Structure 1
Amino acid sequence: MPLGLIALAMGGFGIGLTEFVIMGLLPEVSADFEVTESVAGYLISGYALSVAIGAILLTAAVTRFERKKVLLSLMVLFIIGNLMSALAPSYEVMMGGRIVAALCHGAFFGIGSVVAADMVAPNKRAGAIAMMFAGLTIANVLGVPFGTLLGQQLGWRSTFWAITVIGVIALIGIAALVPTTPASTTGGGLRGELGAFRNKQVWLSIIITILGYGGMFGAFTYIAFTLTEVTGFATSSVPWLLILFGSGLFVGNFLGAKAADRSLTKALVWILAILTVVLIVFAATAESKVMTVISLFFMGAFGFATVPGLQMRIMNYASAAPTMASGANIAAFNVGNALGAWLGGITIAAGLGFTSPIWMGAAVTVAGLLVLIVAAKIDRPAASEQSTMSTSLYPTAA
């Protein structure tokens, strides 16, 4: 395994921690800045919106530059953003720090996916992408609980100081371990990168990502209410159950990558189909604590098992200019998050109960599965997958 992948995973860990740890620190942040809980919550939504914007606009702005230098610049931006948060004298400055840190999120994972895939043999690309995203899953499993504990014991600013240090370590690791991208593989500049969007399969890949990932996230957004109001778990049990969910993310990330490296389309079809079944079983048996624990783990596992394959699919069909398409797919994950949360909120507002977002998540996942099947029939992915064994960096998909 190339050591550069570990450096990229460290960067992913810091970015994932920045995104999610604020959820456990909102009470302390709102009290410190003397704002309401809902206003403090804008630090989460503001971050998510900035991720989607940065994934497209910032990636577009840096396509002509060598990728390793871009990754280093993005980590500097990440460090500055978290330093602003750690030192923030006001809520406005804190929001500014969140936005600055978020701008690098989408571009880092988008460009990092391309760099990671470039480090390994063609038949191991999904595994390389999964290794980078492993940092994000570890942030959910271990980073968020310990980051929250640190913030509660030593003040919420201490958590952002720790994240800043993680950013510095990742910066040094990337500088030392990630190879420089040869000039011949940097694509055709912004015009060449945008040209990849002429391929209808790139757009279909984005739609599949939005629906396939949005279904799981829609179910997850309101999971605390499901666990306490439907299943009957105590509120104090929720963090431990979320660690179980995060463990599922970690396992699914690697197993999904192995399956995608063997047969990309078949793997995605099976993963989305099984995820649909898991969501249906979860919704139907949510009153059972035993079934809820089992379903929660498998929802995380199959929900995140889609990520390496979805990212590799769009990179395959983006041919020799994958950077913008990769960044756009990172934005699509965040659009899926927003869509799933919005649809789940609608079902709750309609009085359908706290299992309704899970039912809705299953429906959205089915929609993603159907789009994938249609996309496979329109343009046989077997040809694209076969070409991944060729010597070219990224296969050309007709």
Structure 2
Amino acid sequence: MSTTVVTTKMPPGVLSLAVGAFAIGVTEFIVVGILPAIARDLHISIESAGSLVSLYALALAIGTPLLVIGLSRLPRKLALLGLMTVFLAGNLLAALSHTFELLLVGRVITAVAHGTFFAIGATVAANLVPKAQAGRAISVMFAGLTLAMVIGVPLGSFLGNLMGWRLPFFAVAALAALGLAAMARWLPAGLVQGAGGKAATQLAALGSGPILTMMAVTVFGFGGSFAAFTFITPILTDITGFSATMASALLIVFGAATFVGNLGGGYLTSHIGWQKALRLMLLLLAATQVGVALAIGSQWMMVVMLFVWGVFAFGLSPALQAGMLATAERHTPKAVDFASGLNISAFNLGISLGSMLGALMVSRQLMASSPWAGVATSLLALLPLAWLARRRRPAAEEARAAVCER
């Protein structure tokens, strides 16, 4: 009986990683809730302020694979503490900045640590528990990211609009310090370092057609929503007619939906497979964004559509992750970890692409039409997905033939 209790408890090291994940999740998306306040205070246009989202994602996408390789030989605890320290410093710089350029530098510094923290932290979380509980440990760590969307971003947006946009960055820096202290205290010092394989072997994944195709599915499928979501606060206030306070509160609706979406997407992926799950959810996401575009002038309909949108936008994540791992295990088995890092890059390249599309539309006075960009990219993601399905079919037929010959 006592053995069962021990194995079902998460080690404090995993919980310390969740604290860090919460801080990182808040800082990535907090700008969405305080974009108009930043634009007013720094005397820039709303589309220029949107680059704080797109360039953050771009810096993360480029930096993550390189850092995963660069830190592969360091002890895991040292690497994670270093990454969280850089993350903390970037948020302090953002909080103290009085020009757009300095704020942007702070965001880029923060982004450099973000993706690599998750790539390394997930493997550490899995190694802190028995193998049978590895998936649960990773989900506990990533629960910090989900809670950031449900609690951290709406609360930070509310306080940022009420008391100044710098306050959320100071709060995230404090959370990062808490996570840093918790990891220093509870992560074991004897964590094994990374595999440290040859960089050429890892980088070979960049030359794999299936890996690049799976990245394209992630970029277009996940990123399309951010054409509208990057500018969701001005959409809700200037077009739908909500107050800034109500718009911040409505981010709770979207955040709660991402939590439901992650759970539902994981369940669907495990029951019907990642390819079928992606096809279904991409179609539903496209239909949902049509609904958002049509409901954008109605307050009660937008509340409903925000929830449905959040479910399908983030419900894609488990299937996209499973798809990249399955693709890497088949085509680049010696670079699965690096391919996982590439998928993190793909998520953020998608965010960057979506934000840039949204900014382009806003600059042309088409903010109300930005959900249509998400419709187009969601449907576009079905093309590389279909190519992967065709590549997989002959291999499956060969496997069945081999079984029959036996």
TM-score bracket, normalised by the shorter chain, equals 0.7 to 0.9
Any idea what SS the aligned residue of 1:64 has? coil
State whether residues 130 and 257 of structure 1, in contact with CA within 8 Å, keep that contact through their aligned partners in structure 2.
Answer: no
Structure 2 counterpart of 1:333, from 341, 347, 350: 347
Change beyond 3 A, Cα 1:275–1:43: closer
> Within 5 Å, which residues of 2 pair with 1:150-169?
150-151=159-160, 158-169=167-178
- Residues 153 and 342 of structure 1: CA distance in aligned 2, closer, same or farther (over 3 Å): closer
Q: Distance in 1 between matches of 2:97 and 2:360?
A: 35
Deviation (angstroms), 1:344: 3.8
Ranges in structure 1 where 5+ consecutive residues have no aligned partner: 387-398
Contact 1:110/1:329 (CA < 8 Å) preserved in 2? no
Pair 1:284-2:284 in alignment: no
Q: Which residue of 1 aligns with 2:260?
A: 251
Cα distance in 2 between the residues matched to 1:65 and 1:289: 52
Quote the RMSD (CA, aligned, Å). Answer: 3.6
Task: State the match for 1:374 in structure 2.
Answer: 387
Cα 1:156–1:354 change in 2 (3 A) is closer
Q: What is aligned with 1:260?
A: 269
Shift in CA distance, 220/83, structure 1 to aligned 2, threshold 3 Å: closer
Structure 2 unaligned residues grouped into runs of 5+: 1-7, 400-406
Q: Equivalences for 1:275-354 in 2 at 5 Å?
A: 275-318=285-328, 319-347=333-361, 353-354=366-367
Structure-2 separation of matches of 1:157 and 1:23: 14
Whether the 8 Å CA contact 1:111–1:323 is kept in 2: the answer is no
CA 92–212 in structure 1, closer or farther in 2 if over 3 Å, else same: closer
Indicate conservation of the 8 Å contact 2:42/2:98, yes or no: no
Deviation at 1:162, TM superposition (A): 2.9
> In the aligned structure 1, how far is the partner of 2:157 from the partner of 2:293?
29
Going from structure 1 to structure 2, the CA distance change for 1:76 and 1:323 (only over 3 Å counts) comes to: farther
- 1:378 Cα deviation from its structure 2 partner: 0.8
Work out the CA distance in 2 between the residues paired with 1:363 and 1:251. 24
Preserved contact between residue 140 and residue 243 of structure 1 (Cα < 8 Å): yes
1:170: which partner in 2?
Answer: 179
Matches within 5 A, 1:42-81: 43-81=52-90
Question: Against the structure 1 CA distance between its residues 362 and 23, is the aligned structure 2 distance closer, same or farther, given a 3 Å change threshold?
Answer: closer
Cα distance in structure 2, aligned partners of 1:135 and 1:285: 31
**Counterpart AA for 1:297:** F
Distance change >3 Å, CA 233–CA 250, structure 1 → 2: same
Q: Against the structure 1 CA distance between its residues 95 and 371, is the aligned structure 2 distance closer, same or farther, given a 3 Å change threshold?
A: closer
- The one-character-per-residue Cα deviations of 1:237-285 (angstroms, maximum 9, x if unpaired) are 3222222111111221222223334433332222222212222233334
Match of 2:404 in 1: none
How many residue pairs get aligned? The number is 380
Q: How much identity, in percent, do the aligned residues show?
A: 39
Partners of 2:189 and 2:276 in 1: how far apart? 32
Q: What are the within-5 Å matches in structure 2 for residues 199-238 of structure 1? A: 199-228=208-237, 230-238=239-247
Aligned position for 1:390? none
Letter in 1 for 2:89: I
Q: Distance in 1 between matches of 2:214 and 2:348?
A: 14
Of 18, 23, 36, the residue aligned with 2:43 is 36
Q: TM-score, normalised by structure 2?
A: 0.78
Alpha-carbon deviation of 1:148?
4.1
1:188 deviation in Å? 1.9
Quick check: 2:54–2:351 contact (8 Å CA) kept in 1? no
Q: 1:24 to 1:327 in 2, by over 3 A?
A: same
Would you say the 8 A contact 1:256–1:308 is kept in 2?
Answer: yes
Name the CA shift for 1:123/1:145 in 2 (closer, same or farther; >3 Å).
same
CA shift for structure 1 position 306 = 1.3
1:372 to 1:53, Cα distance in 2 relative to 1, 3 A: same
SS in 2 for 1:21: helix
What per-residue deviation string (whole Å, max 9, x for no partner) do you get for residues 175-227 of structure 1? 424796556x7262422322333433211111011011112222323434543
Counterpart-to-counterpart distance in 1, 2:93 and 2:251:
29
